[in-house]
Chain A
Amino acid sequence: MTARTGQEELAAQFEQWRRYVLRRRELQPSDADELEDHLRGSVDELIAAGLSPDEAFLVAVKRMGSLDELSREFAREHSERLWKQLVLTGEAGSPAADTRSRRDMWAMVICAAGAAVSIKAPELFGLRLADDGAFYARNFALFALPWLAVFLAWRRHARRPLIATLVALFGLGAVAANAYPLAEESKSLVLTSIHLPIALWLVVGLAYVADDWRSSRRRMDFIRFTGEWLIYFVLIALGGGVLSLFLYHTFNAIGIIPQEFISQWLLPCGAVAGAVVAGWLVEAKQSVVENIAPVLTRLFTPLFTAALLAFLVAVGWTSHGINVDREALILFDLLLIVVLGLLLYSISARDPLAPTGLFDKLQLALVVSALAIDVLVLLAITARITDEYGTTPNRAAALGENLILLANLAYSAWLLLRFIRRRAPFTALERWQTGYLPVYAGWAWIVVLLFPPLFSYV
C-alpha cells in the first residue's frame, strides 16, 4: 500500500466517521469539526509513533470511546438540542439548504406583504371595511389564499398550465363573489362567504400538490398540510389577539384610543398575512416539529366516541325525539365535519402497514355512532323540510353537505370494518378519502356559482 492510497483511505474513513457523528442530534456540525480535529491530532501522533494510517485511525477512534457516552455528555451541556428547534434560516445544515430557506423566507415576506396590501387596496376605490362589510365578507378569502397559492407554486416551480389553471380558478372565484346582485342581507351572501373559502382552499391544494395532483399520497400530504396550517393559523391569531389587547390598553392609558387602527389595519392585514405565514411555517418545519393534528386526534377520538355513544344511549333511554329546529342541520353538519376530521388526521398519521389495533375499533365506533345520530336527524328533518319550511338556499346547502359527509363516512365505516376484519388493506381507506376531495370542491363551487341564480338571489 502506497502512502498516497493510505491517505485517501484515511480521508474516506474520516468522512464516514463524520457522517456517523452527525447522525446524533446532540452533536452539531461544529462539534463534529472540533472532534474531527481531535481525532486527526490523535491519528497524526500515532502515525508518528510508527503505526500505519489504518491502525492509527482504529486506535484513535477506539480511544475516543463510545459515541453514546460522548453524546450523552454533550447533551448535558447542550440540553436545548434535544428539543427540536425550528431553524428559520438555516445555520445548521449545508449552505445550499441555508440559501434555499433564506429565499423561502423572502418569498413568504413578499407574499404576506402582498396579502396585507391587497386587503387595503379596495379602500382606494372607496370600499371601506367599516361600511362595506358585505364586500369584505364574500371576498376575504380572495385577499389571502391567492398569495398563499403564489408562495406554494413558486416553491414548487409550478409549470405554466398549472399557473394558468390557478389564475383561472381564482378569477372564477372573484367573479362568483362579485358578479351576482346579492343584497347585503341575502342568504346567498352568507353561503358564498362560507363556501368560497372552501372552494379556494382546494385551489390552494392544487398549488400544493402541483404536478402530482392525481397522486393519492400528495393529496394526503395536502390534508396534513391543512391540519397543521389550521393549528398554526389559530396560534398566530391568538398571538395577534394578545398583541391587539396590549396595544389597545397601553395606548388607552395615554389617552389615545387605537381602535380604528386595530380594527381597520392590524386585524385585517394581520389575518391575511397570517394565512401566508402559517403556510410557510408548515412548509419550513415539516421535519422539525412533530405534527400536532394527529396528536390532538389521538386525544379526542376516545372522548368524542364516548360523548356520541352517551348521546345515543340517552336518545334510546328517554325515547325523546331529536328536536329539529332551524339550526339543527348545521349543528349536525359540524358534528360530521369533526368526526371526519378525527378520521382524516388519524389516517394521515397512521402507518398503513401497521396491524389493526384497538384505536381502529374505537374509530369505527366513533364513525358508526356519528352515522346513527345523523340518520336520526335526517329522518326527523326530511318530513319537515318539505312541508313546513320549504327550501331555502341555506337549508339546501346544509342538506347537501350532510348527504356528502354521510356518504363519505358510511363508506369509510365499511372500509374500516373490512380493514379490522383483515379483508382490505388500510390504503383503501386512505385512497377513498383522498379521492373524495374533488367532491368537496365540486359542491363548494356549485353553492358559490349556481345557488344564487337557482334561488333567484334571495
Chain B
Amino acid sequence: MKVAKDLVAASATPMVLGILADGESYGYAILRRINELSGGELDWTEGLLYPLLHRLERLGYAQSSWQSVAGERRRKYYRITDKGLAELAEQRRQWDTVTDALKEIWLGLGERGPLTAIPLGCRA
C-alpha cells in the first residue's frame, strides 16, 4: 500500500513538527524516524523533507544551527520554536477533528455491514 501523495503532503508538517517537539534533530534522522513510525509505509523523499524544513524555518516554526560532527562534516540541526509548538497544537486540533469524524464514519459503516466486505490487512 502506498499512501496518496496529497495525504503525505498534508500530514508532513504536523509530523515533522511533532518529531521536532521531541527534541532537536536533523534531516536524515527525521526521515528515519518517519520511516520507523509508519513501518516503512511513508516513503518520504529528500525533495519533500528539506524544502519543508526550510519552509518551517522561514515561517519561524523551527530554528536551525550548524553543528560539526565527526571531523569536517557539518550537520544542520533543527529545533522547534514556541511559535512552532503553537502551530503544532493547532494542527493537532484540526487533525483530531478530521480523524474523529472519520472514525465515526468508519464505525457507522461497520454497523451497517458493507465494510466487512473490504478485506482488512491489504498492507501485506
Contact count band on B = 20 to 34
Q: Could you say which residues of chain B place their CB within 8 Å of the CB of A77?
A: 51-52, 54-55, 58
Please tell me if the beta carbons of A42 and B28 are within 8 angstroms of each other in the complex.
yes
Please tell me if the beta carbons of A34 and B76 are within 8 angstroms of each other in the complex.
yes
Q: Could you say which residues of chain B place their CB within 8 Å of the CB of A37?
A: 26-28, 73-76
Q: Could you say which residues of chain A place their CB within 8 Å of the CB of B95?
A: none
Choose, from A66-74, A99-107, A206-214, A422-430, the stretch at the interface. A66-74
Please tell me if the beta carbons of B46 and A70 are within 8 angstroms of each other in the complex.
yes
Closest residue of A by beta carbon distance from B75: A37
A273 CA / B46 CA spacing, docked (Å): 48
A41 CA / B76 CA spacing, docked (Å): 13
Q: Could you say which residues of chain B place their CB within 8 Å of the CB of A70?
A: 45-47
| B50 located at the interface, meaning its Cβ lies under 8 Å from any Cβ of chain A in the complex | yes
Chain A contacts with B in 24-73, Cβ cutoff 8 A? 30-31, 33-35, 37-38, 40-42, 64-65, 69-70, 72-73
| A157 located at the interface, meaning its Cβ lies under 8 Å from any Cβ of chain B in the complex | no
Q: Could you say which residues of chain B place their CB within 8 Å of the CB of A156?
A: none
Q: Could you say which residues of chain A place their CB within 8 Å of the CB of B28?
A: 37-38, 41-42
Q: Could you say which residues of chain A place their CB within 8 Å of the CB of B66?
A: 33
Name the residue in A34, A40, A73 with the highest tally of chain B Cβ atoms < 10 Å from its Cβ.
A34
| B89 located at the interface, meaning its Cβ lies under 8 Å from any Cβ of chain A in the complex | no
A351 CA / B28 CA spacing, docked (Å): 46
Please tell me if the beta carbons of A65 and B50 are within 8 angstroms of each other in the complex.
no
Please tell me if the beta carbons of A74 and B50 are within 8 angstroms of each other in the complex.
yes
Q: Could you say which residues of chain A place their CB within 8 Å of the CB of B86?
A: none
| B48 located at the interface, meaning its Cβ lies under 8 Å from any Cβ of chain A in the complex | yes
Within the complex, the shortest CB–CB distance from A56 to chain B, in Å, comes to: 14
Please tell me if the beta carbons of A76 and B51 are within 8 angstroms of each other in the complex.
yes
| A78 located at the interface, meaning its Cβ lies under 8 Å from any Cβ of chain B in the complex | yes
Please tell me if the beta carbons of A64 and B46 are within 8 angstroms of each other in the complex.
yes
Within the complex, the shortest CB–CB distance from B71 to chain A, in Å, comes to: 11
Chain B contacts with A in 31-90, Cβ cutoff 8 A? 31, 45-48, 50-52, 54-55, 58, 66, 73-76
Q: Could you say which residues of chain A place their CB within 8 Å of the CB of B50?
A: 31, 34-35, 38, 73-74
Closest residue of A by beta carbon distance from B54: A77
Within the complex, the shortest CB–CB distance from A285 to chain B, in Å, comes to: 26
A70 CA / B47 CA spacing, docked (Å): 5
Q: Could you say which residues of chain B place their CB within 8 Å of the CB of A73?
A: 45, 47-48, 50-51
Within the complex, the shortest CB–CB distance from A70 to chain B, in Å, comes to: 4
Within the complex, the shortest CB–CB distance from B80 to chain A, in Å, comes to: 18
A352 CA / B27 CA spacing, docked (Å): 48
Q: Could you say which residues of chain A place their CB within 8 Å of the CB of B31?
A: 38
Cβ contact of B46, chosen from A30, A35, A72, A78, cutoff 8 A: A35
Within the complex, the shortest CB–CB distance from B93 to chain A, in Å, comes to: 26
Please tell me if the beta carbons of A33 and B27 are within 8 angstroms of each other in the complex.
no
Within the complex, the shortest CB–CB distance from B61 to chain A, in Å, comes to: 14
Closest residue of B by beta carbon distance from A69: B47
Please tell me if the beta carbons of B55 and A74 are within 8 angstroms of each other in the complex.
no
Within the complex, the shortest CB–CB distance from B36 to chain A, in Å, comes to: 13
Name the residue in A30, A38, A69, A70 with the highest tally of chain B Cβ atoms < 10 Å from its Cβ.
A38
Please tell me if the beta carbons of B74 and A33 are within 8 angstroms of each other in the complex.
yes
Closest residue of B by beta carbon distance from A41: B28
A34 CA / B74 CA spacing, docked (Å): 8
A8 CA / B46 CA spacing, docked (Å): 26
A74 CA / B51 CA spacing, docked (Å): 5
Closest residue of A by beta carbon distance from B55: A77
A-B contact pairs, 9 of them (CB 8 A): A33-B76, A37-B73, A38-B31, A41-B28, A42-B28, A70-B45, A72-B47, A74-B51, A77-B58
Query: What residues of chain A have their CB less than 8 Å away from a CB belonging to chain B?
Result: 30-31, 33-35, 37-38, 40-42, 64-65, 69-70, 72-74, 76-78
Query: What residues of chain B have their CB less than 8 Å away from a CB belonging to chain A?
Result: 26-29, 31, 45-48, 50-52, 54-55, 58, 66, 73-76
8 closest cross-chain pairs (CB), A and B: A73-B47, A41-B28, A77-B51, A70-B47, A38-B28, A34-B76, A37-B75, A73-B51
